[in-house]
Amino acid sequence: MQGTAFAIEEATFDASLLPEGCRTPGSEAFHRAVTDYFQQAYGAMGGQVAVVFAAGRIEVAWDPSAAEAPAMAQIQPLLQQRRFSEARPLLETLLQLQPEHPEALYNLGVLASEEGQLEEACGLLRRAISADPSMANAHVALGVAALRQGEHSEARQALEQAVELEPQSPFALSSLASLLASVGDLAASAERFRQALAVAPNDLIAALNLAQVLLELDPEQHRDEADRLLLQVIEAQPFGELANKAKDLRGSIAARDLRQEQPEGLRQDAVSYCLQALQLFEGLDQQRFIAVISEVAALGQGGLEINEPNTSRTLKNLPGTWSDLALACLIHVGMKRLTPDEDSGLGIEAEYVEAVRMHEAGQTTR
């Protein structure tokens, strides 16, 4: 059996792995704690560990005499806790003792992929698949790494094999769907994303990606399905990157809806409603304004049919009846009053700008 040896700079050792009071490189307490750390890390495997400190470096050598390979049951918790610096030497040792150990190859391949070492990752993952062709996760990991390398053919083959092995794996299905979208096969991508959501209906990333694919595929035919998916994402996670992307896509739907009947120029009805909202809010104190905008925004979360002229709603905080387009304009103008640099995503920014111009010029609604 072959031993292992490596050296690292004291300054680069992850001091958070050591007890407090022993984290100053070069100190005796640091040397004792580092020695204890490596002896404990390798101790379960038997053999002998030597830790030497020289010129600011830590030199570690393990002699596997009469050693037993570390068990994956010992390594897996470290991987789950993302304690990769502790898991890696155990995986490398296991691989030295059992060069075709599929789980060691797979996990080292995943670590290499996360670190951006894609060529190394693909090599390790191919070996894992060769050692155990039934390991679906290795096929998925190879597909993802190959896709990041731009090797679409290998990526597709690996991901399709993963889905064949585990048809109910949402990660495999979503990964294959993403690849299909990247190569322009939108119909097949949408089908795979739908399959992934059937297995994992709360997967917000899959929901967002499916909505985006549907809008690219046919925004008119798939408009309602895409909007439902985006609303699901926003309701489940109102803030953050996912929510922002979903709001942007809903904005593109709203803009398209708004201009379906008038593809050229501004919608004058929306301009009029925005101007009305500007005048209305100008006459309200802050408390009343907040009450109105909160009520209207809550209605908007349920979806507005801005192209349906016959919609009619009543509000607790305002008299009269309001069409859905009028409510959308209230939301947009109210948001602009609160956060001038934000866009409501309702697709009426151009109409709002025109209404502001008219308002500043002293024009009123008819």
Where are the domains positioned within the chain? Answer: 1-99, 268-360
Residue 351 C-alpha from the chain's centroid: 33
Contact 127, 100 (CB under 8 A): yes
Phi, psi of 144 (to 5 degrees): -65, -45
pLDDT of residue 265: 66
Look at residues 341, 265, 270 and name the one whose alpha carbon lies nearest to residue 304.
Answer: 270
CA distances from 146 to 2, 68, 122, 154 (A): 31, 34, 7, 6
Residue type, 145: A
Residue type, 190: A
- Give Cβ neighbours of residue 23 (< 8 Å, ≥ 6 apart): 15, 16, 30, 33
Tokens 């399905």 correspond to 225
pTM of the shown model? 0.55
Whether 218 has a pLDDT exceeding 70, the answer reads yes
133-158 pLDDT, tens digit each: 999 999 999 999 998 888 889 999 99
Average pLDDT over residues 53-79: 74
Least confident of 76-90, 175-189, 318-332: 76-90
The length of the chain is 366
Cα–Cα distance measured from residue 257 to residue 254, given in angstroms and rounded to the nearest whole number: 5
Cα–Cα distance measured from residue 255 to residue 216, given in angstroms and rounded to the nearest whole number: 15
What the block records as the tokens of 201 is: 């209906």
311-330 pLDDT, tens digit each: 888 888 888 888 888 888 89
40 against 63, higher pLDDT: 40
Phi, psi of 360 (to 5 degrees): -65, -25
